[in-house]
Structure formats: C-alpha cells, structure tokens
Structure 1
C-alpha cells in the first residue's frame, strides 16, 4: 500500500487537523508515514500545504515529486488547482467548492469550477453547506476528510478513531460533531462514485 497525498488550503481552514487524523489512522494500521508541511501566513489567510506520504514499506523522502501524488485534498478550489503539477495521471482531486477570496486577482469562480470539472477524477463538494447541515460550520475540514476517505486505502473505522483521538480533549460533543461531519462527507463521496 502506498498513498502520496497533498493537502492544501488557506490558513485557519483546518488542513493540518486533516493531516493529523490521517496520520494517526495510518500509524494505528502499522503503516509508515512521512509528512512535510509548508505553513503560509495563516493569520492573514496565506496558503497552507502538507505532503503526506503513507506506505506499508519504509519511505525515504517526505516530499512528493511532481506527477506522483495520488490525491490532492483541498479545502479551497484555487489551492487544488495550484498543486495539479504534482498529481499523477490517475490521481484524484477532492476539493471544497467555496472559494476563499483573499487576493485581488482571485480567478473567476466559474472558470475555476470549469477547470476542475475538466479533470477526469474530481469530487467537488460544498463542505461548508454539508458541515452546517450535518454538524457545525466549523467541521467543514472533517467533511472534506470524509469525502477523501474512500481514496486513502485506510479503513473508515480507523479514520473515525483518528477523529476521536484528535478531538477527544475538546469533549464528547465536539467528537460527535466531527464524526457526524466525517460520515456526511464519506456518504457524499460514495454517492458521487456511483454516478
């Protein structure tokens, strides 16, 4: 088993929480893990990106070469497109659809959606709307994790255990909220794959 994952978004969206949950689940499955993070200016809405490499065999480098990522998981559509050079030809993009417009020359939203739709393997999901309906707007990142779960080659139950472990210190209510968000994202991805 090997998965090279690029996580991207804007500071404050919860990308590193997604990486932590996936990492915990991978380690609990006895897999090897390497991670490299690039923190943007998160206080100012800068980009945040993480390379996450998971394998049943030892991993030499924590950086993903161009054209080798299996998955891009992004909370922000422009950030998903920013890392396309790293995606393999058979790779998947799992992205939120709501733009975080933090620059003057932010691309046209319709053009962004069209560019994403032209890709062969995309799950574009309104994580904010689903989070609001299923749990809380603050759990949008965990909705995205749920949507990415079918592509991670990690048992969903292990990812849920990772969610429990990461959010346990915040109390049972927060844990349950994030589990509901994870399941809503997972269900959305399953339905998308059946279309």
Structure 2
C-alpha cells in the first residue's frame, strides 16, 4: 500500500494542518511517512505546495515523481492545475471550487474548473461555503481533507483521531468543529462518487 499526495494552495489556507492530520493518521496506523518541505512562499497569499508520501514499507524519497501522484488535494483551483503533470492516470484530484485571487491576471474560473472536469477522477466542492455553513471559515481545509479521505488508504476514524491530537491544545470546541468539517467533506465526496 502506498499513497502519494500533493497538497497545494496558498499561504494561510491551512495546508500544513492538513499535512499534520494526515501524518498523525498514518503514524497511528503504523505506516511510514515522508513529507517534503513546503515549496513556495508560505506567507499569506503566496503559493504553497507539499509532497506527502505514505506507505506500509519504508519510503526512500520525500519527492513525488511526475505522473505518479495518487492524489492532488488543493485548496485553490488554479494551484490544482499547476500540479496536474504529477497526477497518475488513475489518480484523483480533490479541489476547492472557490479561487483565492491573489494575482491581477487570474484566469477565468469557468475555464479553470473546465480543465479539472476533463479529468476522469475528480471532486470539486466549495469548501469555503461549506465551512461558513458549519460556522467557521477557518475549517475549510478540514472540509477538503474530509472529501479526500475516501482516496487515502487509512481508516476514516484515524483522521478524526488526528484532528483530536493536532488541535488538542486549542480545546474541545476547536476539535469538534474541525471534526464536523471533516465529516461534511467526507459526506459530500461520497455523494458525488455515488452519482458518478
């Protein structure tokens, strides 16, 4: 078993929290894990990307080769397209539908999403809108992670446990709202998959 994941977005969206929760879930399932350094500008608004490799066997490299990622998980739709050359033919792209417009010549969103829809395996969801329904725009990243859990070979419960561990110092309310966000994302992805 191996799962190679590319996480992408912009600074301030919570990419590192997603990586931390996945990492915790992997470790608690006795899996090997390697994570590349975050590439790009980690300040708010700058492009951020990270490689995360999970396996039941030791992982030699922390970098994912072109055409071999099992999953691209992106909090920003244009950033998702940037890493498509890394996605395997059977890989999945799970992306936010809402752009983070941080450049003056941001491409037409309909065209960006049309490119995503060309992929045989994709889930597009508005994590920002879902997070607001839950009651906090800060949990959009966990909505996205929840939507990706069906494609990561780790039992779902381990992700909830990972949230409890990673956010423990922030208190029960923060843990609970992040777990709620994770569940919402998982439900949305499962609904999209059932109509595919």
Kindly state the Cα deviation for residue 115 of structure 1 after the two structures are TM-superposed. 0.8
Partner of 2:130: 130
Distance across 2 between alignment mates of 1:28 and 1:133:
31
Residue 108, structure 1, aligned to residue 108, structure 2: yes
Local SS of the residue matching 2:43: helix
Kindly state the Cα deviation for residue 37 of structure 1 after the two structures are TM-superposed. 2.2
Partner of 1:89: 89
Distance across 2 between alignment mates of 1:42 and 1:69:
22
Partner of 2:12: 12
Partner of 1:169: 169
Distance across 2 between alignment mates of 1:37 and 1:10:
15
Residues 48-90 of structure 1 show CA distances to partners (whole Å, capped at 9, x for unaligned) of 1110000001111000000000000000000100000000001
Partner of 1:79: 79
The answer to whether the 8 Å contact 2:12/2:43 transfers is yes
The answer to whether the 8 Å contact 1:135/1:178 transfers is no
Partner of 2:43: 43
Partner of 2:61: 61
Kindly state the Cα deviation for residue 43 of structure 1 after the two structures are TM-superposed. 2.5
Kindly state the Cα deviation for residue 134 of structure 1 after the two structures are TM-superposed. 2.3
Kindly state the Cα deviation for residue 107 of structure 1 after the two structures are TM-superposed. 1.0
Residues 161-182 of structure 1 show CA distances to partners (whole Å, capped at 9, x for unaligned) of 0011111110100000001000
Bigger mean CA deviation after superposition, 98-107 or 81-90: 98-107
The answer to whether the 8 Å contact 2:96/2:126 transfers is yes
Residue 179, structure 1, aligned to residue 174, structure 2: no
Partner of 2:24: 24
Distance across 1 between alignment mates of 2:182 and 2:134:
9
Residue 154, structure 1, aligned to residue 154, structure 2: yes
The answer to whether the 8 Å contact 1:135/1:181 transfers is no
Once superposed, which parts of structure 1, at least 4 consecutive aligned residues long, lie more than 3 Å away? Answer: none
Kindly state the Cα deviation for residue 44 of structure 1 after the two structures are TM-superposed. 4.5
Local SS of the residue matching 1:80: helix
Question: Unmatched 5+ residue regions in structure 1?
Answer: none
Distance across 2 between alignment mates of 1:191 and 1:134:
18
Kindly state the Cα deviation for residue 31 of structure 1 after the two structures are TM-superposed. 0.2
Local SS of the residue matching 2:115: helix
